[in-house]
């Protein structure tokens, strides 16, 4: 119960990696709120599952790219539980396409969701965390930020931006007892990566030194560590959880 008494907020928490993070935080004792954009049935089912396990949880619908939505979610969380200790920015989208044929909307949606959403929620919690002189912010990046994948210029740019943003605000907030870190997943078994996994088949595993696709729980465990007091002297870092994918030479 490393997070007993803590209050956490996870964006994009109804499915995939986000869902695993919500469950992991709750099992470590945190009260957890999460937001979702469209998966209301999945969100409701997750809340019921957590409540059945005697965990405090709540879900709110929100578009992370909308600043007003971000402010409203944070305000409701503080009204409900009086504080926020942990923010996990997980929400993201993929709209792959080669640059020559990429539409402006493909670019804009990915940047505004993946990077803009991180800005919106970080700014919404910063003053509260600064006043409390305590906070843990974990932003989800991707190995795509440092490993070139043709057709993902928009996604790579958004995740590279997340990493730069993470380092910058970590330096701003460190003196107030707030740590800011990022986790960069590799190939993880989620709905978002299904098309890529289906197309590449077993070839994906050959590119990973550990020879397996990661599970959402692999990412959740890393997030819990960075959100806990065990990581209180770690800030401004990017933790790759990728089975060795970015090592190269395999």
Q: Which band of pLDDT confidence, cut at 50, 70 and 90, is reported for residue 239?
A: very high
Q: Would you say 74 and 128 are in contact if contact means Cβ atoms under 8 Å apart? A: yes
User: For the segment 191-223, what is each residue's pLDDT rounded down to a tens digit?
Assistant: 776 666 566 567 778 888 899 899 999 999 999
Q: Are strands 135-140 and 57-61 parallel, antiparallel or unpaired?
A: unpaired
Q: Domain segments of the chain: what residues?
A: 7-184+219-238
Comparing C-alpha atoms, which of 229, 219, 222 is closest to residue 16? 219
What span, in angstroms and rounded, lies between the C-alpha atoms of 1 and 48?
Answer: 21
What CATH architecture applies to the domain 7-184+219-238? 3-Layer(aba) Sandwich (3.40)
- The active-site residue out of 36, 119, 155, 233 is 155
| pLDDT score of 225 more than 80 | yes
Percent of the chain whose pLDDT exceeds 70: 96
pLDDT at 90: 98
First CA to last CA distance, the chain: 38
Active site residue 155: yes
Q: Which band of pLDDT confidence, cut at 50, 70 and 90, is reported for residue 107?
A: very high
User: For the segment 25-60, what is each residue's pLDDT rounded down to a tens digit?
Assistant: 999 999 999 999 998 999 999 999 999 999 999 999
pLDDT at 197: 59
| pLDDT score of 131 more than 70 | yes
């Amino acid at each position: 119960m490393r997070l007993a008494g803590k209050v956490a907020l996870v964006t994009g928490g109804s499915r995939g990696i986000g869902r695993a993070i919500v469950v992991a935080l709750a099992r470590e004792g945190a009260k957890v709120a999460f937001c979702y954009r469209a998966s209301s049935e999945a969100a409701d089912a997750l809340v019921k599952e957590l409540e059945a396990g005697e965990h405090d949880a709540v879900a709110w619908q929100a578009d992370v790219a909308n600043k007003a939505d971000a402010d409203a979610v944070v305000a409701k969380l503080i009204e409900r539980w009086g504080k926020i200790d942990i923010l996990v920015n997980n929400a993201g989208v993929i709209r792959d396409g080669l640059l020559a044929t990429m539409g402006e909307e493909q670019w804009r949606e990915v940047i505004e969701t993946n990077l803009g959403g991180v800005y919106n929620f970080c700014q919404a919690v910063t003053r509260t965390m600064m006043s409390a002189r305590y906070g843990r912010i974990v932003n989800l990046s991707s190995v795509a930020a440092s490993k070139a994948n043709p057709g993902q210029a928009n996604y790579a740019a958004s995740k590279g931006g997340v990493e730069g943003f993470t380092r910058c605000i970590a330096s701003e907030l460190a003196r107030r007892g707030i740590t800011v870190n990022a986790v960069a997943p590799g190939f993880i078994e989620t709905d978002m990566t299904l098309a890529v996994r289906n197309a590449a088949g077993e070839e994906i595993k050959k590119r990973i030194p550990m020879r397996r696709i990661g599970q959402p729980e692999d990412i959740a465990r890393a997030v819990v560590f960075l959100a806990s007091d065990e990581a209180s002297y770690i800030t401004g870092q990017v933790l790759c959880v990728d089975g060795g994918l970015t090592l190269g030479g395999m």
